[in-house]
C-alpha cells in the first residue's frame, strides 16, 4: 500500500468497449494484490442500481485481476463506508454529473476518507474532475462553461473529455489559471505532487496550448 493516494485521472472511457483497458491495467497493477476494489456509483442524477451496468463493470474489473468488486451505496452509514474503504486497495469513481458527485462525497464525509487513503484512486470523467482543485465542465450542446470547486486532492484545474473544439474556451480561461485537458482513453497520473501522462494530454497556460506526451 502507498503512503498517500495515487490518482489516475481518466479523461473518459466507454466501459462496454473497454477503450481504456491499458490504463486500468496499469492502475490495477499499482494497487497490488489481493486487488479489492470499491466503486462509488454516485455521479448520476438518480442512483444507478441497474444490474447489467454493474455486472458489466464487475466482469471488466475481474478480467483485469480484481479479487472483489463492491459497489458502495449512498444509503450506507459513513462508518460502514469507512470500513469498506479501509479494506480495499483501489477506489473507483464513475462518470456522470460532477456537481452531484462532489456534493454527495462531501455530504457523506468521503472526501476526508479519500485524502487519507493509502491506495490507488481511479476517477473516470466526472470521477477524475472531482479529485482536482477546480473542475471545468463544458456543454456539448452549447458554449456554456462552468467552473466548480472539486475536492482538492490535486492542486490543479482539469477538463475531462477534452476535444479540440474546447480550445477557444480553455485558452481564454487559462489566462487566469493553468488547465490540464485530458481526452478520452488518456489519463494523468498524480502521486506525491508529481504528474505524468498516459497517452496524451494538454496544458493550457497563459493563453497558450501545449501538448503533453507519455
pLDDT, tens only, 57-67: 999 999 999 99
Q: What is the pLDDT confidence band of residue 48, given thresholds at 50, 70 and 90?
A: low
Mean pLDDT, the chain, whole residue set: 94
In percent, the amount of the chain with pLDDT more than 70 equals: 97
Q: What is the pLDDT confidence band of residue 116, given thresholds at 50, 70 and 90?
A: very high
What pLDDT, on a 0 to 100 scale, did the predictor assign at position 1? 46
Sign of CA dihedral 58, 61, 62, 67: negative
Average pLDDT (49-54) is 78
Beta pairing partners, 93: 40, 123
DSSP string, 145-191: EEEEE---SSSSEEE-S--GGGHHHHHHHTTTS-EEE--TT-EEEEE
What pLDDT, on a 0 to 100 scale, did the predictor assign at position 174? 97
pTM over 0.85: yes
pLDDT, tens only, 78-94: 999 999 999 999 999 99
Domain ranges of the chain: 6-213
Which H/E stretch holds residue 34? Answer: none
What pLDDT, on a 0 to 100 scale, did the predictor assign at position 85? 98
Which whole-number Å values give the CA distances from 113 to 78, 92, 158, in the listed order? Answer: 10, 13, 21
pLDDT, tens only, 143-196: 789 999 999 999 999 999 999 999 999 999 999 999 999 999 999 999 999 999
Domain 6-213 sits in CATH at 3.40.50.880
Amino acid at each position: 500500500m502507498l503512503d498517500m493516494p495515487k490518482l489516475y485521472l481518466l479523461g473518459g472511457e466507454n466501459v462496454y468497449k473497454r477503450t481504456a483497458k491499458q490504463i486500468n491495467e496499469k492502475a490495477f497493477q499499482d494497487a497490488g494484490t489481493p486487488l479489492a476494489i470499491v466503486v462509488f456509483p454516485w455521479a448520476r442524477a438518480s442512483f444507478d442500481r441497474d444490474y447489467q451496468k454493474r455486472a458489466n463493470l464487475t466482469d471488466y474489473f475481474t478480467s483485469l485481476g480484481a479479487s472483489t468488486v463492491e459497489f458502495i451505496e449512498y444509503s450506507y452509514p459513513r462508518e460502514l463506508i469507512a470500513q469498506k474503504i479501509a479494506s480495499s486497495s483501489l477506489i473507483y469513481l464513475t462518470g456522470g454529473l460532477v456537481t452531484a458527485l462532489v456534493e454527495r462525497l462531501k455530504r457523506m464525509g468521503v472526501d476526508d476518507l479519500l485524502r487519507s487513503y493509502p491506495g490507488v484512486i481511479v476517477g473516470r470523467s466526472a470521477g477524475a474532475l472531482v479529485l482536482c482543485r477546480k473542475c471545468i465542465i463544458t456543454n456539448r450542446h452549447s458554449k456554456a462553461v462552468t467552473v466548480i470547486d472539486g475536492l482538492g486532492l490535486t492542486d490543479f484545474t482539469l477538463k475531462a473529455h477534452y476535444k479540440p473544439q474546447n480550445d477557444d474556451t480553455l485558452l481564454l480561461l487559462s489566462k487566469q489559471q493553468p488547465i490540464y485537458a485530458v481526452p478520452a482513453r488518456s489519463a494523468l497520473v498524480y502521486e506525491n505532487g508529481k504528474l505524468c501522462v498516459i497517452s496524451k494530454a494538454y496544458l493550457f497556460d497563459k493563453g497558450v496550448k501545449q501538448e503533453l506526451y507519455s
